[in-house]
A and B are shown apart, each in its own frame.
Chain A
Amino acid sequence: MEREKMVEELAGIVGKENVLSSETDLLLYGYDASLFRGRPDCIVLPGSTEEVSKIVKFARANGIHIVARGSGTNLSGGTIPTQGGIVLHFSRMNRVLEIDIENQRAVVEPGIFTLVLKNQLARYGYIYQPDPASEKVSTLGGNFGENSGGPHCLKYGVTTNHILGAEVVLYDGEVIQVGGKALDHPGYDLTGVLVGSEGTLGIATKLILRIMPKPEAVKTMLAIYNSLEDAGRTVSAIIADGIIPATLEMIDRLTIKAVEESIHAGFPLDAEAVLLIELDGLKDGMERLAERIMEICRKNNVREVKVAKTEAERAQLWAGRRGAFGAVARLRPNYFVCDGTVPRTRLPEVLTRVMEIGRRYGLAIANVFHAGDGNLHPLILFDERNEEELRKVHLAGSEILKLCADAGGTISGEHGIGTEKMKEMLFVFNSQDIAAMKKVKKAFDPEDVYNPGKVLPEQTLSA
């Protein structure tokens, strides 16, 4: 369809001011936080479910693809319009529709920043648990699409454990409700299917979330190590002891350097690794639990364990952790985040081999990750403008994922597959597995309207 005609039709649905199609806009909606680029045919900013439904009906009738998008913080290219079409930017649908404290539920539109909801809940002493590092800008619709994780997901589970239902626009524009406010719903768990489907099955226009009272007490500790292996062994030992802290994050020397140059978070520059361990829950017994953890740290040669004394100190430590990805851009201009998961017991060994891969390609690698989940985030440092280096980065990234898969882990912890890791899907799934997923895609979106060219590798799509 001619772009002019498309823009005109869409303007009829959402108003002229909410359709963007200039050269500049097409460039600006062609990226996210990954290394991939695409180019949409136009961008639409819907204001209601009804508008979304009309847009989808129009797109389907005209064979146009649709990619839904929030803040574009995606790390695996999930929001890249690889085959043109319409990008739906949800910045206008950003309201909190309901906060139901008695029933511990919140209902929101998809374009709201995760942290904006959290700030509103804080007034009631409540919290929405998932905390992706990008929460201050990531949208809940994006979290839904990616099944986002975050440090506190060790104890509380990832996004899917906190989404109870949604209003979803299907490929033909029909609007359905999945799940609901109750804990368990009869019929198929379509909410479970849709969360983490990366916008390939449907578009959520309303989300029902589980919210919880804020824990009574929080204790944040920084365990400082002279060796990465000792830090890794501590992680396994804590979990093996039956303790599930709220967070168990590891940050290595190179990342510490970058973070400390960026903000003074309080990570010691001469440490090989630090663990950011947070406990939350009832006040009673917390001291004892903290002491048990410190004892495990000591047994594993910890140099020192510091406890955050004030809320400000705690906030500063977390600011350092959340900004770690961005901060490494102080060392080299760009970073490529790998997102692999391994069984916790294999962490020390896999880490060593990750560093070997870096050395082999001549690439510096910084590590900051959800150690408690065994979810690695090696950050490969490079300069995107150097094509040879960029090529090596992709090769090294793929090797790291192979390493994780071979160690009994998998190729994504929380960042999704997107355009980035489609071929790596074959590291963990065989063609029957992929074919089963393809059937789900076909059932939801037989005409490939939504987010084409993502998640499932091409060769098996046609199988």
Chain B
Amino acid sequence: MKQEELKTLLYDEIAKCNRCGFCLAVCPVYTVKGREWATPRGKNALIRAIIENKIDWTPEIEETLFRCTGCRLCTQTCFPAVETNQGVLAGRECLVDRRQYPKVVDRVVEALEKNFNISGESNQSRSMWVEGLGEVPDHKFQKERAEVIYFVGCVAAFYPMAHKIPQTFVRILDRAGVDFTILGGEEWCCGFPLIQAGMKEKMGKLVEHNEQKVKEVGAKAVVFACPSCYHTWKERYHTDAELLHSTQFMERLIEEKKIAFNNGIERKVTYHDPCDLGRNSGVYDPPRNILRKIPNLHLVELEGNRQLSVCCGGGGDLEMIDPELSAAIAQRKVEEIQRTGADEVVTSCQQCIRTISGYARKHKIKIRVKDITEVVWEAMVK
């Protein structure tokens, strides 16, 4: 994006920021950093100063704009609801235009262009998690035609720690008798990392490919266990298929009696709302409804829940840009979870799991972190 476009697109939005500072109290980056540059107010001020030619694109502006989790808790608690993250993302696009951005971004872009996924591996390895399932149908969940596509997402497909999510989710779908398929090597990254990197114009090819696949399969619905893929599709894709997060889909399967729970699970759990699922996509109730349907499972809320959920630290690709900052935010999340006294935290995002359990493991904190699909499956087979 060129600097002049910033003015057309965002000047009026940013001008609504009256510097009241209410956002400071909730911003996870400021909570850790305690410096004005970290605040949403400061980010608005910088974008405004750029628009008004009062400051040049300093190295600190780059550092600032690439340190936002995109959680949008600032906007949620801002009375004029200033969309700071839009400014941040547009600012990143301008920085990219100037070739002024963290070099780690190039590695991801290169991986996406070469392999259509964020890992360094060949896209054919996308379904390697299937191997860990033991006995599977001959088609290995890859069919030419199906009612439903399960869009696995890069993190769940390529990072072994997250394999449990697709593994349990396909078991659930299979047990519920859903006619579904995965796309295997034909699933391409949804484009979310490019939006975060300020390179959304590069995502066209990925979007087109994935949209085409939906047509070829003749799917009526695409289901995602990854909130960021789900949100990206909702915002940027054009398709007639219904787009559903796994929690919405499972809630429906429970209503249709295709998923049934037997004895339930005697446990106290808390639920962490992922930013891209909750605040950014408005899905709050389905995961809670599912958990409440499991007999004997006791749900306690976090201090920041639903609209006010606090980011785990993994949002907006922050883990890639600044792992230390991401971990410091995760620390606060872990402390919040511990204050609930729950035995386990359930969430519905592989990135949240990665960030929270990654921090806990590193600091030898005993905390059980589970994806909601794992809890559902446990309750189905118990």
Residues on A facing B (Cβ under 8 Å): 20, 22-25, 27-29, 31-33, 43, 45, 71-73, 89, 91-92, 94, 113, 115, 134, 136-137, 259, 262-263, 323-327, 329-330, 333-335, 383-385
Q: Is the CB of A134 within 8 A of B36?
A: no
The verdict on B22 contacting chain A, using a C-beta distance below 8 Å, is: yes
Q: B60 is contacted by which of A22, A136, A137, A326 (Cβ under 8 Å)?
A: A22
Q: A27 is contacted by which of B25, B34, B35, B46 (Cβ under 8 Å)?
A: B46
Contact flags (1/0) for B247-280 with A, using CB distance below 8 Å? 0000000000000000000000000000000000
Which residue of chain A lies nearest to B30 when distances are taken between CB atoms in the complex?
Answer: A91
Which residue of chain B lies nearest to A138 when distances are taken between CB atoms in the complex?
Answer: B21
Residues of B within 8 A of A137 (CB): 21-22, 24-25
Given contacts A33-B18, A262-B81, A325-B20, 5 further A-B contacts (CB under 8 A): A23-B55, A45-B34, A89-B36, A91-B34, A115-B25
**9 smallest A-B Cβ distances: which pairs?**
A326-B79, A91-B34, A329-B80, A24-B60, A137-B25, A323-B79, A327-B79, A28-B36, A333-B15
Q: Is the CB of B35 within 8 A of A326?
A: no
Which residue of chain A lies nearest to B60 when distances are taken between CB atoms in the complex?
Answer: A24
Q: Is the CB of A25 within 8 A of B60?
A: yes
Q: Is the CB of A134 within 8 A of B21?
A: yes
CA distance A137 to B54 in the complex (A): 28
Residues of A within 8 A of B58 (CB): 22-24
The verdict on B19 contacting chain A, using a C-beta distance below 8 Å, is: yes
CA distance A89 to B54 in the complex (A): 23
The verdict on B241 contacting chain A, using a C-beta distance below 8 Å, is: no
Which residue of chain B lies nearest to A324 when distances are taken between CB atoms in the complex?
Answer: B79
The verdict on B218 contacting chain A, using a C-beta distance below 8 Å, is: no
Which residue of chain A lies nearest to B24 when distances are taken between CB atoms in the complex?
Answer: A137
A259 to chain B, nearest CB (A): 8
Q: Is the CB of A24 within 8 A of B55?
A: yes
CA distance A324 to B20 in the complex (A): 11
The verdict on B12 contacting chain A, using a C-beta distance below 8 Å, is: yes
CA distance A323 to B45 in the complex (A): 20
Which residue of chain B lies nearest to A384 when distances are taken between CB atoms in the complex?
Answer: B15
Residues on B facing A (Cβ under 8 Å): 12, 15-22, 24-25, 34-37, 42, 45-46, 49, 54-56, 58-61, 64, 78-81
Residues of B within 8 A of A27 (CB): 45-46, 49, 54-55
Q: Is the CB of A330 within 8 A of B80?
A: yes
Residues of B within 8 A of A31 (CB): 19, 45
Q: Is the CB of B36 within 8 A of A25?
A: yes
CA distance A22 to B24 in the complex (A): 21
CA distance A266 to B91 in the complex (A): 37
Q: A72 is contacted by which of B36, B64, B81 (Cβ under 8 Å)?
A: B36
Residues of A within 8 A of B56 (CB): 23
Give 21 pairs: A residue, B residue, CB < 8 Å, sorted on A. Answer: A20-B35, A22-B58, A23-B56, A23-B58, A24-B58, A25-B35, A25-B36, A31-B45, A45-B35, A71-B24, A73-B20, A136-B22, A323-B22, A325-B79, A326-B79, A329-B16, A333-B16, A333-B18, A334-B15, A334-B18, A383-B15
Q: Is the CB of B15 within 8 A of A113?
A: no
Q: Is the CB of A72 within 8 A of B55?
A: no
Residues of B within 8 A of A383 (CB): 15
Residues of A within 8 A of B22 (CB): 134, 136-137, 323, 326
Q: Is the CB of A136 within 8 A of B25?
A: yes
Residues of A within 8 A of B54 (CB): 27
Q: Is the CB of A25 within 8 A of B37?
A: yes
Which residue of chain A lies nearest to B57 when distances are taken between CB atoms in the complex?
Answer: A24
Q: Is the CB of A134 within 8 A of B15?
A: no
Q: Is the CB of A262 within 8 A of B79?
A: yes
CA distance A115 to B80 in the complex (A): 22
- Counting chain A CB atoms within 10 Å of each CB, which of B16, B35, B58, B80 scores highest? B80
- Counting chain A CB atoms within 10 Å of each CB, which of B19, B21, B45, B79 scores highest? B79
Which residue of chain B lies nearest to A32 when distances are taken between CB atoms in the complex?
Answer: B19
Given known A-B contacts A22-B58, A28-B42, A72 and B19 have beta carbons under 8 A apart = yes
Q: A326 is contacted by which of B36, B45, B64, B80 (Cβ under 8 Å)?
A: B80
Q: B78 is contacted by which of A43, A326, A334 (Cβ under 8 Å)?
A: A326
CA distance A91 to B33 in the complex (A): 9
Residues of B within 8 A of A324 (CB): 79
Residues of B within 8 A of A384 (CB): 15
Which residue of chain A lies nearest to B12 when distances are taken between CB atoms in the complex?
Answer: A333
Which residue of chain B lies nearest to A115 when distances are taken between CB atoms in the complex?
Answer: B25
Residues of B within 8 A of A91 (CB): 34-35
